[in-house]
Amino acid sequence: MFATLFTLAMMAAPYGHQASAQNTKCPVLGTAVTGKSQVVTVHGHAYRVCCSDCAGKLEKHPGAYLKKDGTPKNAGKPVQKGSMASMPGMRP
Ligand SMILES: [Zn+2]
């Protein structure tokens, strides 16, 4: 009886399973990340980053890229393209 309840509890709340990163952009550069991107955990929150360089930056200076609630500061901005987008008609 107790063993069954214990097993059900373990299945309902698997111990050691961390919430996966939800962000779709690198909090550092704002470039798009995928499910295969590197994940960095800062203050209990998991974030995907575009490269190991950004992983190091996010770990060392999380306050520069994350709000106090853990939301990436660039979350509301559009995704940066990897290539330089030229803007025709914007010449000085
Ligand atoms: Zn990067």
Other residues' Cβ atoms within 10 Å of the Cβ of residue 44: 8
- Separation of 53 CA from ligand 1 center, angstroms? 6
Please, what sign has the CA dihedral across residues 36, 34, 29, 45? negative
Question: Which residue do the tokens 């111990």 mark?
Answer: 15
Q: What is the pTM of this model?
A: 0.66
| Residues whose beta carbons lie less than 5 angstroms from ion ligand 1 | 29, 50-51, 54
Per-residue pLDDT of the chain (92 residues; tens, 9 = 90+): 666 666 655 555 444 445 689 899 999 999 999 999 999 999 899 999 999 999 999 999 999 999 999 999 998 888 877 654 445 555 56
In the prediction, which pLDDT does 31 show?
A: 95
- Separation of 9 CA from ligand 1 center, angstroms? 39
In the prediction, which pLDDT does 36 show?
A: 92
Other residues' Cβ atoms within 10 Å of the Cβ of residue 54: 23
In the prediction, which pLDDT does 85 show?
A: 46
Q: What is the rounded distance in angstroms from the CA atom of residue 14 to the CA atom of residue 20?
A: 14
Residues 6+ apart with CB under 8 A from 7: none
